[in-house]
A = this chain, B = another copy of it.
Amino acid sequence: MELQLLDQLHSRRRFFPARQDMIYEGQIERSAYILASGWVCSYKLLPGGTRQVVDFQIPGDFLGLRSVLFRKADHNIEPITRVQASEVQVCDLLEAVNTAPRLGAALLWAASRDEAMVVEHLVGIGRRDAKQRMAHLLLELGARLKLVGLASNDGYTCPLTQYLLADALGLSAVHVNRVLRELREDGLVTFQQSKVTFGDFDGMVAFSKFDRHYLDHDGPLMTWPGGGPSSIQMLTGLPGP
């Protein structure tokens, strides 16, 4: 039954061009999306025009889940590349949760995982130096992409610009450039021509003290009677690693 419901949630597929907000702060019409392909960033604009990127979203991720029960969207969501996404209307989502309560628990897990990533970014900006912060983010993206079959321990394709990295890490673009050069010279990682290549994966993990537990990759601790797909696969509609 959950699968049928999720099929319905995935039925409204849409394409969005790069660099045009899918959701904007203050928006009242409440939709969320499940990302099928492409990359997206969520960000807040400050009065004065500076921007803080809160997180990047990759295929399989929910977009706008946080705002879906709010009166207004509290952040912006912008495609970094051309993206394909399933639109989920809040009434359909609530109805699905009413019919299949375990879906509610899976959504709560997804929201918790989103928050755990924002917490890591807060810890990074508050307490890690620029180089560790960058290494940590590149490892996090790799771990998340691996889960949906888009990365290996060697590396992954990454459309992020140095400006986006700067706005996510609280650095200047010049600083991002310098930090990436240092990581390359250390033999840890190379980020060139939209490709992240790990030179020394274990060295990266040790250097940035990356502990992937906060990603809780095995999904919510719930029993799904009769086996069936993992809740991650159920939520995302993706084949998994």
Contacts and interface: CB of A to CB of B under 8 A. Distances in A.
Interface of A: 26, 30, 44, 46-47, 50-52, 54, 65-72, 74-75, 90, 94, 97-99, 101-102, 104-105, 107-109, 111-112, 114-116, 118-119, 121-123, 125-128, 170, 209, 213-214, 216, 218, 220-222
Given A112-B65, A221-B69, A170 B125 contact: yes
Given A54-B123, A66-B115, 17 more contacts: A26-B213, A46-B123, A46-B127, A54-B119, A66-B116, A69-B112, A69-B221, A72-B216, A74-B214, A101-B101, A104-B107, A104-B108, A108-B108, A115-B115, A118-B119, A125-B126, A125-B170
Given A54-B119, A69-B221, A112 B112 contact: no
B74 A108 contact: no
Copies in the complex: 2
B118 A122 contact: yes
B209 A46 contact: yes
A69 B220 contact: yes
A123 B52 CA distance: 6
A90 to B, nearest CB: 8
Contacts of A218: 71
12 contacts: A30-B221, A46-B127, A47-B209, A51-B127, A52-B127, A65-B112, A68-B112, A69-B105, A69-B108, A108-B111, A125-B125, A125-B126
A13 to B, nearest CB: 24
Smallest CB-CB A-B distances: 5 pairs: A104-B104, A126-B170, A115-B115, A69-B109, A69-B220
Nearest to A50: B127
Nearest to A223: B94
A115 B69 CA distance: 13
A216 B70 contact: yes
Contacts of A126: 52, 125, 170
Contact of A213 (B69, B72, B99): B72
A206 B181 CA distance: 41
A122 B117 CA distance: 11
A25 to B, nearest CB: 9
A93 to B, nearest CB: 9
Given A66-B116, A108-B111, A213-B72, A121 B123 contact: no
